[in-house]
Structure 1
Amino acid sequence: MNYFSSNFKLGILGGGQLGKMLLNDTRKFDIYTCVLDSSNEAPCKIASNEFHLGDLMDFDAVYNFGKQVDVLTIEIENVNVDALEALEKEGIKVYPASKTLRTIQNKARQKLFYTDNNLPTSPFTRFAYTTEVKEAIDHGSLTVPFVWKSAQFGYDGQGVKIVKSVSDLDGLPNVECIAEELVPFKNELAVIVARTLSGESKNFPVVEMEFHPEANQVEYVICPARIPEDVAQKAIDVALRTSEAFNHVGLLAVEMFQTQNDEILINEVAPRPHNSGHQSIEASYTSQFEQHLRAILDLPLGRTDSKVGGVMVNLVGAEGYSGNVVYENISAIMGLDGVTPHIYGKKQTRPFRKMGHVTIVDQDINMARTIAEEVKSTIKVISE
């Protein structure tokens, strides 16, 4: 099929920043795009060829949108999977497939998938309701500390809580959930794997992630990860095995823990472009977004190694500020060597909302990390 400057239509479910960055590459290739999102102010609206308003969890909205395109992909997991399954039966190509997405959407099913496929992950217990977690603690079958995770709809640090005492469960939604053993890890790592319908597979380098202690969001992504080569290879091997088990098409971001004994445990996965790959835009030969397009269109995959060390800094709304966004001191950071800001186009800020990111590149990854610290302390995402 001819995808370039043709009648081919690529559909994207979700109009957020991941979709916006994906559209940079569809524009580069002159691929016609249609985007579905529930917000008329979605970042993708200005860059897509067609923008459709609709609820991503509504069967009819997703189904009717999907009938208008040739290939359908996602930039967020929270979409109506029943509609995707119906579209597949009618011959629409959907990547990732509805079967893959149905497993990944639910963290309990996702964890069971790892155990069923002999993939390393931390021990866990599945519960139909959060109240059952309290009962398990009372009966002695579960002990603190552990990590409580909502089985569905967790995103950007939401739906996750470290439980150190029974009182920490107060106020949590009474939903299907898992209680996961708290892993005393050295590092949180990630590897993005790209896979085509033909079976070609390539991985990006291992990245190291540093998280905000309160928001449970990634603050820094460091590529390459500052870990021993043998540990990096273990992480890559686990990511490739995970990709093969899912038999996915497109990108699969595999988030992992490096334990104190240098073992690798899978935390969770995302079947789409991911926050842990943003530095690839400036630092890699092929960005994760271009690679996702290559994969879902069954084109040859691009080179995945880095041209230069890269660190990504997430720009999130500052605490205490809500309303029309202002990026304070952005011109100051642009005066630093190797710094490139990405502004997502969200007009309204609120505490910890992802508003953009900044990439810092340098031949010396430690120097890039030092500059990243300066960037983080200089720029502020506030409101008018």
Structure 2
Amino acid sequence: MAKQISDLKLGILGGGQLGRMLIQEAINYNLTTLVLDPDTDAPCKHIANYFECGSITDFDTVYKFGKKADIITIEIEKVNIEALDQLEKEGKKVYPQARVIRLIQDKGVQKQFFKENDIPTAPFQLVNTKEDIINSTLPFPYILKQRKDGYDGKGVMRINSFADIDNAFDAPCLIEELVDFEKEIAVIVSRNANGDVKTFPMVEMEFNAEANLVEFLISPSTYPDAVQEKAETIAKNIAAALNVTGILAVEMFITRNGDILVNELAPRPHNSGHHTIEGNYVSQFEQLIRSVFNLPLGDTRSINNAVMINLLGEKGHDGVAVYKGLEKIMAIDGVYIHLYGKKYTKPFRKMGHITIVDQNREAAVEKANYIKNTLKVIS
């Protein structure tokens, strides 16, 4: 008799808020969850069936942890790939596959993958030294990105002139043409081992320019159907080219002349899909479970208009978190609060998110603006 989903153990590398929200969905399936994270106070600590404090980048630690699970997934890309490779060779199911994580860990390799598979993206060059940057043929201004370890807005800078190169990253990087975009958009695509594929409706994003993080997300998009279908087709094509199992967030730009360019990929649950918990028939977290256990994929349609706000730590505050204005926003209809269980706040740290669901799109945006100005994470 084949094992049921509730007989299998899901190992999660990383115990942050993405893992926490994944476990909250996994509980509905009676899944046993195992988490590895280096933080003794990780958000997953108290809700995982098994929590281990240890390095997710150390071969032995990841390998030994993986042996305890039936299926292994990630909530952050910076993990030990060699250990996952070895676990796959020994018959463990690793989703997304180790080869996919390896490709996405390196933004330079990721960009080359786009080029080789005719996926539209901004022109780029790979550089290893500051001298390479000086000799670049791309016109100023352009964007400089570290090839590895950049996330949540880190490892990215704008280069306006030769003077800025003095402060450039001294590590392998890629430089890419500055895109004159009208809107940043994202599509999350899911794919199970059978090759069944579904996309969530395209969303529009507003970024916090100072933190370089998504601050505001609106779903569904109001762009014409043809634009949305094009973005979703690009996401499906990427998932197929990668032959990935799991979910993949595809971040894109819509340029002022109407082109769609792919910016970056994330092979895991993503900030651009948090609204799906209340705003869609299936959430990105449940869809990940369905994908990695090779179950039928869920209904990704939007139920209603949803606006998601990232709750970031306030500038100048570093210490035990206090949520100022929480009761005021709880008095508003259609507001869903997600706090991530992080005891300490610091400037721009992701402390939670708020989703506003409303039949009226303008009303949802109005509520979101009020919440943005009312709810503050201080110390």
Instruction: Indicate the residue corresponding to 1:279 in structure 2.
Output: 275
Q: CA deviation at 1:231?
A: 1.1
Q: Distance in 1 between matches of 2:346 and 2:166?
A: 24
Question: Of 160, 167, 173, which aligns to 2:169?
Answer: 173
C-alpha contact 1:3 1:31 (8 A) present in aligned 2: no
Q: Distance in 2 between matches of 1:118 and 1:142?
A: 21
Provide, for residues 86-107 of structure 1, a one-character-per-residue CA deviation record: whole Å limited to 9, x for no partner: 1101111000001111100000
Instruction: Indicate the residue corresponding to 1:195 in structure 2.
Output: 191
TM-score where L is the length of structure 1:
0.97
Q: Distance in 1 between matches of 2:72 and 2:191?
A: 16
Instruction: Indicate the residue corresponding to 2:260 in structure 1.
Output: 264
C-alpha contact 1:59 1:82 (8 A) present in aligned 2: yes
Q: CA deviation at 1:68?
A: 1.0
C-alpha contact 1:196 1:296 (8 A) present in aligned 2: yes
C-alpha contact 1:130 1:176 (8 A) present in aligned 2: no
Provide, for residues 47-89 of structure 1, a one-character-per-residue CA deviation record: whole Å limited to 9, x for no partner: 1000011111111111111111110000000001111101101
Q: Distance in 2 between matches of 1:298 and 1:317?
A: 38
C-alpha contact 1:131 1:174 (8 A) present in aligned 2: no
**How many residues matched?**
378
Q: In the alignment, residue 101 of structure 1 is paired with which amino acid?
A: I
Provide, for residues 104-131 of structure 1, a one-character-per-residue CA deviation record: whole Å limited to 9, x for no partner: 0000000000000011000000011344
Question: Of 226, 232, 243, which aligns to 2:228?
Answer: 232
Deviates more, 1:164-173 or 1:56-65: 164-173
Pair 5,102 (structure 1): closer, same or farther in 2 beyond 3 Å:
closer
Q: In the alignment, residue 177 of structure 2 is paired with which amino acid?
A: E
1:76-91 correspondence to structure 2 within 5 Å: 76-91=76-91
1:178-327 correspondence to structure 2 within 5 Å: 178-327=174-323
Instruction: Indicate the residue corresponding to 1:123 in structure 2.
Output: 123
C-alpha contact 2:252 2:260 (8 A) present in aligned 1: yes
- Does 2:97 match 1:101? no
Instruction: Indicate the residue corresponding to 2:135 in structure 1.
Output: 136
Q: In the alignment, residue 162 of structure 1 is paired with which amino acid?
A: R
3-state SS of paired residue (2:355): strand
Q: In the alignment, residue 171 of structure 2 is paired with which amino acid?
A: V
Q: CA deviation at 1:3?
A: 3.9
Q: Distance in 2 between matches of 1:129 and 1:323?
A: 38
Deviates more, 1:364-373 or 1:353-362: 364-373
Instruction: Indicate the residue corresponding to 2:378 in structure 1.
Output: 382
Provide, for residues 227-250 of structure 1, a one-character-per-residue CA deviation record: whole Å limited to 9, x for no partner: 122111111111111111111001
Structure 1 residues not aligned, in runs of 5+: none
C-alpha contact 1:13 1:72 (8 A) present in aligned 2: yes
Q: Distance in 2 between matches of 1:158 and 1:131?
A: 22
C-alpha contact 2:275 2:307 (8 A) present in aligned 1: yes
C-alpha contact 1:130 1:177 (8 A) present in aligned 2: no
Question: Of 320, 327, 338, which aligns to 1:331?
Answer: 327
3-state SS of paired residue (2:281): coil
Instruction: Indicate the residue corresponding to 2:148 in structure 1.
Output: 152
C-alpha contact 1:311 1:372 (8 A) present in aligned 2: yes
Deviates more, 1:343-352 or 1:225-234: 225-234
Pair 58,209 (structure 1): closer, same or farther in 2 beyond 3 Å:
same
Provide, for residues 254-282 of structure 1, a one-character-per-residue CA deviation record: whole Å limited to 9, x for no partner: 00000111111000010011000000000
3-state SS of paired residue (2:316): coil
C-alpha contact 2:5 2:293 (8 A) present in aligned 1: no
C-alpha contact 2:57 2:79 (8 A) present in aligned 1: yes
Q: Distance in 1 between matches of 2:224 and 2:77?
A: 33
Q: Distance in 1 between matches of 2:347 and 2:291?
A: 35
Instruction: Indicate the residue corresponding to 2:47 in structure 1.
Output: 47
Q: CA deviation at 1:143?
A: 2.2
Deviates more, 1:175-184 or 1:156-165: 156-165
Q: Distance in 1 between matches of 2:112 and 2:119?
A: 10
Structure 2 residues not aligned, in runs of 5+: none
C-alpha contact 1:318 1:381 (8 A) present in aligned 2: yes
Q: Distance in 1 between matches of 2:362 and 2:3?
A: 44
C-alpha contact 2:279 2:303 (8 A) present in aligned 1: yes
Q: Distance in 2 between matches of 1:161 and 1:313?
A: 24
Q: Distance in 2 between matches of 1:130 and 1:88?
A: 38
Q: Distance in 2 between matches of 1:272 and 1:262?
A: 28
Q: In the alignment, residue 320 of structure 2 is paired with which amino acid?
A: N
- Structure 1 residue ranges (4+ consecutive) displaced by more than 6 angstroms after TM superposition: none
C-alpha contact 1:189 1:207 (8 A) present in aligned 2: yes
